[in-house]
Amino acid sequence: MTVATETRLERPRLGPRRKALAYLALTKPRVIELLLVTTAPVMVLAARGIPNLWLVLATLVGGALSAGSANAFNCYLDRDIDRRMARTRARPLVTGDLTDREALVFAWVAGAVSTLWLALTTTWVAAALSVAAIAFYVVVYTLLLKRRTPQNIVWGGIAGCMPVLIGWAAVTGGLDWAALVLFGVVFLWTPPHYWPLSMRYREDYAAVRVPMLGAVRGTAAVGLQVILYAWATVACSLLLIPVAGMGVVYTGAAALSGAWFLVESHRLYARAVRGLDARPMRVFHASISYLTVVFVAVAVDPILRIALPL
């Protein structure tokens, strides 16, 4: 009997609950939650009211499976660096709760099921966009960009913008300028959302030679980039007002939450240039709140205009 065989025989069997939680962790549920926050509101805007609730549920289920597949592939491909980073040492491929084979099989199955599910319950356009999102995240971001360029999260973030297009296509069967504007909002939002996190964990990324901007540039330089992208994000969000004919609810929410996001971004930069602790996680959390407020307003605005016509 070989040493490898003995190791496999000695591995304790996990209970079904712990195994299920390991598969759930493999999908990065907090990331999925953020992606779904952008999907349902877009469907409301596309329908100019409350869409078919079954269609919304089907799209969210398919989107969650698609994102879970992409994240599982990412965990499999990045398992070597995940073992060396403090932030990722609790992931199931690092702890041994899942084997590499189990993760890879899960990723393929979830991707196939999500594609078929979206094609059968929504539209083929939504299903095709889902496949594109998985492929882009796995191949372009994880394999080609992540370990090679500080611009990794800029272009790799395109995959995270796809739920906006998937939600719109699920309702309409196609795309529109309003969907592309919201795609732009998420695209421009991704760097100022993620770069503060890379500042917080710069030692982790430096140790595994992943050139996240926060790990390879000074805090002031990163802070300036955060400001520029934050301004571009807010400007793009306001572009939706004339493009989609948004009302006072969306206008107020986008303007006020955008102002808060900008204030936090400028505070990060101001502290960085003075040599103080930049407190990057304040911007990270503010960015999540900002995106949530904007997309909730995307859904509430058309509903209120129907319920309270002026």
Amino acid type, 251: T
The predicted model scores a pTM of 0.90
pLDDT recorded at residue 145? 94
CATH code for position 254: 1.20.120.1780
Domain boundary among the residues 152, 173, 194 is at 173
Angle at 115 between CA 113 and CA 121, to 5 degrees: 95
Would residue 228 count as lying in a domain? yes
Domain match, 78 and 194 both = no
pLDDT recorded at residue 30? 85
Would residue 298 count as lying in a domain? yes
Domain match, 195 and 74 both = no
pLDDT recorded at residue 35? 81
Would residue 4 count as lying in a domain? no
Angle at 246 between CA 243 and CA 247, to 5 degrees: 150
List the one residue out of 231, 139, 248, 121 whose CA is nearest residue 185.
Answer: 231
Amino acid type, 78: D
Domain match, 159 and 190 both = no
Domain hosting residue 285, numbered range: 176-310
Would residue 41 count as lying in a domain? yes
- Reading the chain (310 residues) residue by residue, the pLDDT tens digits are 444 443 444 456 778 888 899 999 999 988 888 888 899 999 999 999 999 999 999 999 999 999 999 999 999 999 999 999 888 889 999 999 999 999 999 999 999 999 999 999 999 999 999 999 999 999 999 999 999 999 999 998 899 899 999 999 999 999 999 999 999 999 999 999 999 999 999 999 998 999 999 999 999 999 999 999 999 999 999 999 999 999 999 999 999 999 999 999 999 999 999 988 889 999 999 999 999 999 999 999 999 887 776 5
Q: Which structure tokens are listed for 278? A: 């930049």
List the one residue out of 89, 285, 82, 260 whose CA is nearest residue 196.
Answer: 285
Question: Are the CB atoms for 236 and 188 separated by under 8 Å?
Answer: yes
Distance CA 11, CA 222 (A): 44
Would residue 116 count as lying in a domain? yes
Interior/surface letters 233-266, b for 16+ CB within 10 angstroms, e for the rest: bbebbbbbbeebebbebbbebbeebbeebbebbb
Domain match, 222 and 146 both = no
Domain match, 162 and 186 both = no
Q: Which structure tokens are listed for 222? A: 């990163």
CATH code for position 95: 1.10.357.140
List the one residue out of 216, 192, 220, 190 whose CA is nearest residue 203.
Answer: 216
pLDDT recorded at residue 13? 72
Using the Cα atoms of residue 215, residue 218, residue 219 and residue 223 in order, give the sign of their dihedral: negative
Domain match, 242 and 113 both = no
Domain boundary among the residues 123, 155, 173 is at 173
Domain match, 167 and 239 both = no
Distance CA 265, CA 284 (A): 9
Domain boundary among the residues 173, 196, 213 is at 173
pLDDT recorded at residue 1? 43
- Split into its structural domains, the chain has a count of 2
Would residue 8 count as lying in a domain? no
Domain match, 289 and 154 both = no
Would residue 1 count as lying in a domain? no
Domain match, 169 and 23 both = yes
pLDDT recorded at residue 112? 97
pLDDT recorded at residue 179? 96
Would residue 13 count as lying in a domain? no
Domain match, 131 and 185 both = no
228 burial class (0-12, 13-18, 19+ CB within 10 angstroms)?
middle
Q: What are phi and psi for residue 46, nearest 5 degrees?
A: -65, -35
Domain match, 181 and 234 both = yes
Question: Are the CB atoms for 72 and 26 separated by under 8 Å?
Answer: yes
pLDDT recorded at residue 12? 62
Domain match, 141 and 41 both = yes
pLDDT recorded at residue 120? 96
